[in-house]
């Protein structure tokens, strides 16, 4: 019976929108010089204006709002006041600017911005403008000062939701199809002799995937005759088959039938094969697997392997692992391992480099 089609994949989305009332109020203070004699803390109110369902006004302090010090007389203060009664707190974003009376445009340089939370009939901390800036052209003209107040007051929220139906696209089966191509004998036109065993493959696939094979199979010195057999030395058939599997599918073969140590050995053989055929991505994948399987028994042999095949990242991980052993029994077990003795005997330069890096790391 055919499987029933899957329902389309549904995707939902929601959005919260804050509705905002915007208002600009211009407050002109005429006869500015007549107010310079007022005491600090004395304010001149603007007319009441509405914004966001509330009533507001501006308060202009010609000699500042600070009654405790003389410093306040060097500036004027402008406050925003909530005039009407509010049932709760009111949030408002305000912007206070001096207006250039030559151009009629509010100044971007002399500006105060703040977001304030009001309660009923409260006054903000307000803005301060230095008199040295305000009492000159173009802000003071014909003995008057003009202040622009821009308010943005939230008045509500709107929620919306939508449902978008999507068609699920399954992952590509290209690697699976190429794996099937490798498993069948159809179209195979090149053979490799590996430890006496004949393993066949497709020239074009190998050439497309690896420059090494492209040069060998299609280069000027290649042999295009039928029945040509290429001998592969120093490699086991199981490793070469795994190499081909990766070339075709970009994945390593399943190793469920191997125990932990056998898996590590297989990965080491594949790393060597990847280095031989310049398969950098496969080589890095093998390095990643080996670094996760490090222990006191395998650290030295893995370090030697990394050094021999120019695996700089794996080499650094090995030395870091050895350094982490400290001075406990793990170090003693590491030194007593067969890999350590081989490293000391066969790779003296690497052996010295390892301990120098460990010593330097511990001094730091």
- The answer to whether position 259 is within a domain reads yes
Q: Give the alpha-carbon dihedral of 297, 300, 301, 305, to 10 degrees.
A: 150
Distance CA 77, CA 150 (A): 16
Instruction: Say if residue 358's pLDDT is above 60.
Output: yes
* Cα atoms in the 13 Å half-sphere on the side-chain side of 331: 10
* Structure confidence by residue, pLDDT tens digits, 231-281: 999 999 999 999 999 999 999 888 878 887 888 899 999 999 999 999 999
Nearby residues of 72 by Cβ (< 8 Å), 6 or more positions away: 40, 63, 64, 65, 66
Distances (CA, A) of 155 to 21, 137, 150, 152: 7, 38, 16, 9
pTM above 0.85, yes or no: no
- The answer to whether position 351 is within a domain reads yes
- Domain limit, last residue, from 112, 127, 159: 159
- Strand partners of residue 80: 58
Averaged pLDDT for residues 62-68: 81
- The answer to whether position 280 is within a domain reads yes
What pLDDT sits at residue 364?
Answer: 47
Domain span at residue 187 reads: 176-363
Which residue reads 């105060």 in tokens? Answer: 112
* Structure confidence by residue, pLDDT tens digits, 280-318: 999 999 999 999 888 888 888 998 999 899 998 998 888
Q: Are residues 253 and 127 in the same domain?
A: no
The CATH number given to whatever domain includes residue 27 is 2.60.210.10
């Amino acid at each position: 019976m055919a499987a029933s089609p899957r329902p389309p994949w549904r995707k939902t989305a929601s959005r919260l929108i804050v509705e905002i009332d915007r208002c600009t109020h211009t407050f002109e203070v005429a006869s500015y010089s007549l107010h310079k004699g007022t005491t600090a803390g004395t304010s001149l109110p603007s007319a009441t204006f509405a914004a966001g369902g509330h009533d507001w006004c501006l308060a202009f302090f010609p000699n500042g709002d600070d009654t405790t010090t003389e410093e306040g007389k060097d500036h004027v203060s402008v406050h925003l006041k909530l005039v009407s009664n509010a049932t709760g707190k009111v949030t408002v974003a305000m912007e206070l600017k001096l207006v250039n009376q030559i151009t009629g445009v509010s100044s971007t340089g002399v500006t105060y911005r703040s977001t304030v939370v009001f309660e009923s009939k409260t006054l903000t901390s307000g803005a301060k403008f230095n008199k040295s800036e305000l009492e000159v052209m173009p802000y003071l003209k014909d003995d008057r000062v003009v202040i622009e107040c821009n308010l943005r007051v939230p008045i509500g929220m709107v929620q919306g939701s939508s449902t978008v139906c999507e068609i699920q696209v399954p992952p590509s089966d290209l690697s699976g199809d190429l794996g099937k191509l490798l498993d069948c004998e159809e179209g195979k036109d090149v053979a490799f002799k590996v430890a006496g065993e004949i393993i066949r493959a497709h020239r074009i696939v190998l050439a497309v995937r690896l420059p090494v094979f492209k040069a060998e199979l299609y280069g000027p010195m290649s042999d295009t005759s039928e029945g040509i057999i290429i001998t592969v030395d120093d490699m086991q058939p199981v490793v070469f088959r795994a190499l081909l599997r990766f070339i075709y599918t970009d994945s390593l073969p399943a190793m469920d039938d191997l125990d932990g140590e056998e898996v590590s050995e297989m990965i080491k053989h594949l790393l060597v094969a990847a280095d031989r055929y310049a398969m950098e991505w496969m080589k890095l994948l093998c390095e990643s697997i080996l670094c996760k399987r490090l222990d006191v028994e395998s650290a030295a042999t893995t370090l030697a392997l990394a050094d021999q095949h120019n695996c700089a990242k794996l080499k650094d991980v090995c030395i870091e692992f050895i350094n982490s052993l400290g001075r406990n029994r793990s170090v003693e077990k590491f030194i007593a391992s067969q890999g350590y003795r081989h490293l000391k005997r066969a790779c003296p330069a690497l052996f010295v480099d390892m301990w120098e890096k460990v010593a330097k790391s511990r001094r730091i």
